[in-house]
Amino acid sequence: MVDDTPWLALVVGNSRLHWGSFAGAQWLGGWHTPHLTSAQGHALMTQGFTPQTWTSLAAARPELDEPELPPMMADFPELWLASVVQAQGDVWRTYAQSRVVRADQVPLGHGYPTLGVDRALALVGAGETYGWPVLVVDGGTALTLTAGAEQRLVGGAILPGVRSQFRALHDYTDGLPLLSYDLAHLPPRWATSTAEAMTSGILYSQLAGLRDFITDWWQGYGQGQRAGRVVFTGGDGPALASALTRQNPAWATSIRVDPDLMFWGLRVCRQRQTQQ
C-alpha cells in the first residue's frame, strides 16, 4: 500500500524555522520563516496549518512570507519536528500530531551524546540520497562539516559561519563596521581599506579552510566506487560551493548543492518509525 499521508517537516534552526511539505515520501515543497512567538505557533497549530492561517500571520508580520502550501495538504497534518533551539522547539511540541525526532533516533551509527540533530539529519539525508561515504558542509549561523561512511559518523568540525564572523568583528572590536558580503564577488586578497581587509580575511580564510578539509576528506575517501561525496547545504552553502569551484574548476563535478538535506533525513526517520 502506497503511503500518501500529508505531513509537515519542521527543523528549528538557530535563526530560522525550516519547513517542508510531503505526501508520504513525495516532496511537495519547502519554505523558511523567522522564529515565531508562542501565540503565532498556537494559532497555526489550533487551526491546522491552513493556508488561511499563514495568510493572517503574513499580514501581521511583514518579514514573514506566506508559503504556497500545496493544495493537497490536509488540515492538521503530522508534524515531524527536530530542534536545536529548545525554547522555540517547545512551541511546537504541544501539537497533538507532533513527532519529535532526537539525534539518537536518527539512524546513524557512532554518534556522540551532544551531536546536533540538525547535523545528524543532514548527514543521513545526504547519505541516503547521494550515497555513502559523504561529507556535508552546512553554511549556516555556524559552519559545520559532518562526514559519514556506511551510515556511521566519521567525524566533523564546527566554526563560526561567515555572517557570524562579520558580526563578531563588529561586536568585539572597537570601531570595526558591520559589513555585508557577497561571495560571488570576492574582494582583493591584499586589501587597501579596512572594509576590504575584513572581507578578505574572513572570506579567503573560510574558503581556504574548506579546501583543506575537503582535500583531506578525499585523501581518505577518494577511490573508485567509495569516492567521498561532498554536499553543501544551508543558507551560505550554494555561494560557498560556487566560490570554491571558481577557485578550483576541477571540483565542479565533485561538489553538489542541496538545500533540503535535513528534510531528506526527517523523511528517512519517518519511514523507519512508521515501518516499525
Write out the residue limits of the CATH 3.30.420.40 domain(s) in the chain.
116-262
Q: Is 135 within 8 Å of 113 (Cβ atoms)?
A: no
Taking only the tens of pLDDT, the chain with its 276 residues reads 678 889 999 999 888 899 999 999 999 999 888 899 899 999 999 999 988 888 888 887 777 777 877 666 778 999 999 998 888 899 999 999 999 999 999 999 999 999 999 999 999 999 999 999 999 999 999 999 999 999 999 999 999 999 999 999 999 998 899 999 999 999 999 999 999 999 999 999 999 999 999 999 999 987 555 579 999 999 999 999 999 999 999 999 999 999 999 999 999 999 998 876
**Does residue 118 carry a catalytic annotation?**
yes
Q: Is 244 within 8 Å of 251 (Cβ atoms)?
A: yes
Closest CA to 153 of 106, 192, 186: 106
- Residue 209 is placed in which grid cell? 579552510
Question: DSSP alpha helices (H): ranges in the chain?
Answer: 38-46, 51-60, 86-93, 117-130, 162-172, 194-220, 237-247, 261-275
Annotated active-site residue in 90, 118, 171, 258: 118
Neighbours of 273 (CB within 10 A): 13
Closest CA to 162 of 119, 205, 214: 205
Q: Which CATH number fits domain 116-262: 3.30.420.40, 3.90.650.10, 3.40.50.300, 2.60.40.10?
A: 3.30.420.40
pTM, whole model, 2 decimals? 0.92
Give the architecture-level CATH label for domain 6-100: 2-Layer Sandwich (3.30)
DSSP annotation string for 104-162: GGSS-BT--TT--HHHHHHHHHHHHHH-SSEEEEEESSEEEEEEEETTEEEEEEEEE-H
The burial class, CB within 10 Å (0-12 / 13-18 / 19+), for 118 is buried
